[in-house]
Amino acid sequence: MELHRLTIHELRDLIQKGDVSPVQVVQDFLVRIGQVEDQIQAFNTLTPRPALGFAKKFQDIQGRNEKLPPLAGIPLAIKDVICTKGVATTCSSKILANYIPPYNATVMTRLNAAGAVMLGKTNMDEFAMGSSTENSAFKKTRNPWNLGCVPGGSSGGSAAAVAADMCAGALGSDTGGSIRQPGGFCGIVALKPTYGRVSRYGLVAFASSLDQIGPLTKDVRDAAILLKAVAGHDPLDSTSANVPVPEYEAALTGDIKGLRVGIPAEYFIPGMDPEVESAVQEAVRVLERLGAVRERVSLPHTDYAVATYYLVATAEASSNLERYDGVKYGHRTADSDHLIDMYMKTRREGFGPEVKRRIMLGTYALSAGYYDAYYLKALKVRTLIRQDFTEAFKHCDVIVTPTSPTPAFKFGEKTDDPLQMYLSDIFTISGNLAGVPGISVNCGFTRSGLPIGLQIIGRPFDEAMILNVAYAYEQATAWHGERPRL
């Protein structure tokens, strides 16, 4: 049985019933990784021995016919931006290449308690800054659907690992689209929760008012399962929301009769990829056939989102990345004998060009004389963008858009002009600025075989709604059964 092709819920059923051993499951994934990782390069670190160790523990419990935790033996991949105690957490950066966290992120504590098993840490754009995973200091991850194309970013390793059946599911992080966009490029389900829905304790911080951890999975039910496992208030994260976590799986009824689907005019612009536009329009027709009602809405400040993001996120990043100074952990230059010089050389040696660029932009935006014109201005435009969503949600229940303006692009296609790369996040960035949840599901393929992502955006803390709409669409179509040929 090809266990690695199964979803989390299928494996869960087999394991809980005792039909299959957790050790068998983990072994099957490890064999799969051995077969395809050379081509895909999704992982920075693999942890086969601890994974088998935990699987064996659950196998013993299974053998004694005792109760297993809900996700016992389910193998997951974790983006290398999430702290895993005792296991290297590099953020795909030279500056943290040797960093081994002394603590677990809260999401890891919760997944461990649920019995999930970690197969390894996945590759990413350095410090989550990028849209293609090309900014990794270590390796290029390839899109399983076309090895000459990027998997998207910054959670490219996680997305590729799920698409290539190298794990049952994965966690990523999303600051400007870094879960949804690679999810779209790799043809899988990828969800960014509402800001504050999932604890950021142990998530290496990029932009503290935008970052969220979320699931990347093979189908919508799996995303509901992983989200439920990690969501909820955390006293260790004072930005985590004290809002109860619904039973997301139970919310998957598939019933969307009467649902008002908002289509924002600003997301369907002349010059967008015609295959993307036509796939998304067809997807909306599917929703209509299921009983949804199309509503025209407007998000008038969409055009200002990328500019706003590149001030807010970089300003926050410039502050968050000050801690990488070679003093307490990470790389330290061998080349210096006094402190300021040590900082400057350490950071010069340890950071890649995109990270440096964003630190510079953010520092500039916050510096004396420019703070009002840039950072403060951006915070005000952020209010306008948030208000756009609040207003739109008076006229619809969910907003549907393409996940990206194009499908996965080729390696090197956008690396010459940083601005071109930034613009590829145009449909996801507003969601982070407004704090609203969004999910990407596959809605078709281009003529050249690349997946096309459909994004469903919801009101704050309405993940149950967007999961159910995604589920209804998924169950009415066959895209989620497709797998890349490797």
Partner 1 sequence: MAKITPKEVEHVARLARLELTEEEKERMTAQLDSILGYIDKLNGLDTSRVEPTTTVIPMVSVMREDEVRPSLTQEEALANAPDREDVFFRVPRIIED
Which residues are catalytic, by number? 79, 154, 178
Nearer to partner 1, 281 or 383 (CB): 383
Interface mask (CB under 8 A) for partner 1, residues 120-139, using x and -? --------------------
Rounded to the nearest whole angstrom, what is the least distance from the CB of residue 379 to partner 1 in the complex?
A: 3
Q: Does 196 help bind partner 1 (rule: CB under 8 A)?
A: yes
Rounded to the nearest whole angstrom, what is the least distance from the CB of residue 57 to partner 1 in the complex?
A: 24
Rounded to the nearest whole angstrom, what is the least distance from the CB of residue 226 to partner 1 in the complex?
A: 22
For residues 68 and 189, the answer to whether their CB atoms sit within 8 Å is no
Which residue has tokens 């025209």? 296
Q: Does 179 help bind partner 1 (rule: CB under 8 A)?
A: no
Stretch that binds partner 1, among 134-142, 255-263, 341-349, 465-473 (CB under 8 A): 341-349
202 phi/psi in degrees, rounded to 5: 90, -5
Partners of 451 in beta bridges: 445
The dihedral of CA 182, 184, 188, 190: what is its sign?
A: positive
Interface residue with partner 1, options 127, 195, 409, 427 (CB under 8 A): 195
Nearer to partner 1, 179 or 292 (CB): 179
Q: Does 66 help bind partner 1 (rule: CB under 8 A)?
A: no
Q: Does 331 help bind partner 1 (rule: CB under 8 A)?
A: yes
Which residue has tokens 């306008």? 384
- 416 burial (CB, 10 Å; 0-12 / 13-18 / 19+) is exposed
Of residues 201-260, those binding partner 1 (CB under 8 A): 209, 235, 238-239, 241
Stretch that binds partner 1, among 122-130, 161-169, 270-278, 354-362 (CB under 8 A): 354-362
Rounded to the nearest whole angstrom, what is the least distance from the CB of residue 161 to partner 1 in the complex?
A: 27
| CA gap 461, 467 in Å, rounded | 12
Binding-site size for partner 1 (CB under 8 A) equals 72
Helix or strand run (H / E) with residue 156: helix 156-163
Q: Does 185 help bind partner 1 (rule: CB under 8 A)?
A: no
- 477 burial (CB, 10 Å; 0-12 / 13-18 / 19+) is middle
Of residues 357-376, those binding partner 1 (CB under 8 A): 357, 359-361, 363-364, 367, 374, 376
Interface residue with partner 1, options 57, 94, 139, 356 (CB under 8 A): 356
The dihedral of CA 9, 14, 20, 22: what is its sign?
A: positive
Q: Where are the alpha helices (DSSP H) in 96-179?
A: 106-114, 156-163
Q: Does 320 help bind partner 1 (rule: CB under 8 A)?
A: no
Cα end-to-end distance, the chain, whole Å: 18
Stretch that binds partner 1, among 11-19, 199-207, 214-222, 412-420 (CB under 8 A): 412-420
Rounded to the nearest whole angstrom, what is the least distance from the CB of residue 46 to partner 1 in the complex?
A: 21
Cβ neighbours of residue 126 under 8 Å, at least 6 residues apart?
91, 92, 93, 135, 136, 137, 351, 352, 354, 355
Q: Give which of 182, 211, 207 is closest to 198, Cα–Cα.
A: 211
| CA gap 93, 154 in Å, rounded | 13
Rounded to the nearest whole angstrom, what is the least distance from the CB of residue 36 to partner 1 in the complex?
A: 33
Distance of CA 193 to the CA centre of its chain: 10
Interface residue with partner 1, options 278, 341, 390, 481 (CB under 8 A): 341
* DSSP code per residue over 360-426: HHHHHHHSTTTTIIIIIHHHHHHHHHHHHHHHHTTT-SEEEEESSSSSPPBTTSSSS-HHHHHHTTT
Of residues 95-114, those binding partner 1 (CB under 8 A): 98-100, 102-103
Q: Does 384 help bind partner 1 (rule: CB under 8 A)?
A: yes
Q: Does 399 help bind partner 1 (rule: CB under 8 A)?
A: no
Rg of the chain taking only CA atoms, in angstroms: 21
Q: Does 328 help bind partner 1 (rule: CB under 8 A)?
A: yes
| CA gap 354, 336 in Å, rounded | 24
Interface residue with partner 1, options 121, 221, 382, 480 (CB under 8 A): 382
Stretch that binds partner 1, among 121-129, 391-399, 402-410, 416-424 (CB under 8 A): 416-424
